[in-house]
């Protein structure tokens, strides 16, 4: 008979469980960082353009700056010839254009005063008398006008955005040398289980290599967090409580793997309940049905399943979202893509199910095909996957050709 203390709670949806977790989180303070450290960080303050971009009218091509009216009669059968004039170079002040001449100009150079068009060098030819033009440009041809990209004072990146390499370039262009970003949360990581041995050790038949610690450490880094490795603790209730108390004081969130189910030696949930609170235990999903959401003291806690695929998927859907939310991110989940199933799939109707798939284009459709075995201990198929096809609850059978959403793996 299962005791009342170990009785299962009702399973909630993935969205509901994530709402419970995120609702208990605060926000990390902000810090100013150099652009060299900004990649992957979450903006805490809008990036506002300090100047017009570009800062002056300039050339979009290597060629010649001209007064369009000087070439109004130019035709292939009757080219117009202009004397070579001055030179306009990038990084130099604007020069004065002389009517009736062609000012040599480089891409990005300020437009000469008095010129109103640029003719690319490949549309011209050199002759003894100067530069020959066989066509009449329109005023404004091949010009970049001041502020046509961004006007000074425009918000170009909003708070809550996680910075990509391109965004770091945008910060630099906007004059933001030290953006304000959310501090990186400290994530205490622990694994539980008497059977675990470290990577590199040869496990005995009754032992299992601890792949979760390395995987979750990497996942925390990818999400912008700072891993605080606690290590492996055995299936001992007192030892687990001591480790959780130690982790509580040095972390912004605690993430564990294994020990959250209903086995006689699964002590995580009970220890968390004694040291703080358990807000939710089960989620109607596969893989990853057992999941402890709660707190150790005032520190948020998330207990993931022990099977490595279950641990990876629940980290993606819950822990990664929490780490990003702590930093102030507005987008917490990876991108979704509409896909078509390449094969029929079945699942328990009540469980939202995440299937490891490869993606491939077939004609005009993005097709999702199983990347291998779907058991929760089968890591090879996760490594071979591009995405997780999401099979929603309420349906048990999904025929080949059915359209679903797929979550791209980071």
pLDDT digits (tens, 9 = 90+) for 263-293: 777 789 999 999 999 999 899 999 998 999 9
| pLDDT computed for residue 4 by the predictor | 38
- pLDDT number for residue 146: 96
**Among 1.20.1300.10, 3.40.50.1220, 1.10.3720.10, 2.40.340.10, what is the CATH number of 336-408?**
2.40.340.10
Span 359-375, mean pLDDT? 94
CATH of domain 58-144: 2.170.190.11
What does the pLDDT look like over 303-348, one tens digit per residue? 999 899 999 999 999 999 999 999 999 999 999 999 999 999 999 9
Q: 269: part of which helix (H) or strand (E)?
A: helix 268-275
Q: Hey, where are the domains in the chain?
A: 4-28+184-326, 31-53+149-182, 58-144, 336-408
Contact between 400 and 343 under an 8 Å Cβ cutoff? The reply is: yes
CB-count exposure of residue 205 (10 Å: 0-12, 13-18, 19+): exposed
Overall average pLDDT of the 44-55 stretch: 95
Q: How confident is the model at residue 7 (pLDDT cuts 50, 70, 90)?
A: very low
| Model pTM score | 0.88
Buried b (16+ CB within 10 A) or exposed e, 249-271: eebbbbbbbbbbbeeeebbbbbb
Superfamily of domain 4-28+184-326: MoaB/Mog-like domain (3.40.980.10)
Q: Which CATH class is domain 31-53+149-182?
A: alpha beta
| Nearest Cα residue to 116 out of 133, 102, 132, 130 | 102
Whether 401 shows a pLDDT value over 50: the answer reads: yes
Contact 103, 112 (CB under 8 A): yes
Confidence grade of residue 6 (pLDDT, cut at 50, 70, 90): very low
Supply the pLDDT for residue 2. 35
């Amino acid at each position: 008979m299962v005791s009342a203390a170990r009785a299962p709670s009702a399973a909630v949806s993935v969205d509901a469980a994530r709402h419970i977790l995120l609702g208990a989180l605060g926000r990390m303070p902000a810090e100013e960082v150099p652009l060299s450290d900004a990649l992957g960080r979450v903006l805490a303050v809008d990036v506002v353009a300090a100047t017009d971009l570009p800062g002056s009218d300039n050339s979009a091509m290597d060629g010649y700056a001209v007064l369009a009216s000087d070439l109004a009669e130019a035709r292939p059968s009757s080219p117009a010839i202009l004397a070579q004039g001055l030179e306009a170079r990038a990084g130099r002040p604007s020069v004065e254009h002389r009517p009736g001449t062609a000012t040599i100009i480089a891409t990005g150079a300020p437009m000469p005063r008095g010129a109103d068009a640029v003719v690319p060098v490949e549309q011209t030819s050199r002759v003894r008398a100067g530069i020959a033009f066989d066509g009449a440009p329109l005023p404004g041809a091949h010009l970049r006008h001041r502020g046509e990209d961004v006007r000074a004072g425009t918000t170009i990146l909003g708070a809550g955005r996680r910075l990509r390499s391109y965004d770091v370039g945008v910060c630099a262009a906007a004059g933001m040398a030290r953006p304000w970003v959310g501090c990186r949360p400290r994530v205490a990581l622990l694994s539980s289980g008497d059977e675990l041995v470290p990577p590199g050790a040869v496990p005995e038949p009754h032992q299992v290599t601890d792949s979760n610690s390395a995987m979750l450490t990497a996942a925390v880094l990818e999400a912008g967090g700072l891993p605080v490795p606690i290590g492996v603790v055995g299936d001992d209730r007192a030892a687990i409580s001591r480790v959780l108390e130690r982790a509580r004081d040095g972390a912004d969130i605690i993430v564990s793997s294994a020990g959250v189910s209903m086995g006689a030696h699964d002590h995580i949930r009970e220890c968390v309940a004694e040291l703080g609170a358990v807000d939710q235990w089960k989620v109607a999903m596969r893989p990853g049905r057992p999941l402890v959401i709660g707190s150790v003291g005032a520190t948020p806690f998330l207990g993931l399943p022990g099977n490595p695929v279950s641990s990876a998927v629940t980290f993606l859907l819950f822990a990664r979202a929490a780490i990003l939310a702590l930093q102030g991110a507005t987008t917490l989940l990876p991108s979704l893509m509409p896909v078509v199933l390449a094969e029929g799939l079945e699942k328990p109707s009540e469980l939202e199910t995440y299937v490891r798939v490869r993606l491939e284009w077939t004609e005009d459709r993005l097709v999702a095909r199983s990347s291998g075995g779907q058991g929760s201990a089968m890591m090879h198929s996760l490594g071979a996957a591009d995405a997780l096809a999401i099979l929603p609850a309420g349906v048990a059978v999904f025929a080949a050709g059915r359209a679903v959403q797929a979550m791209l793996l980071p």
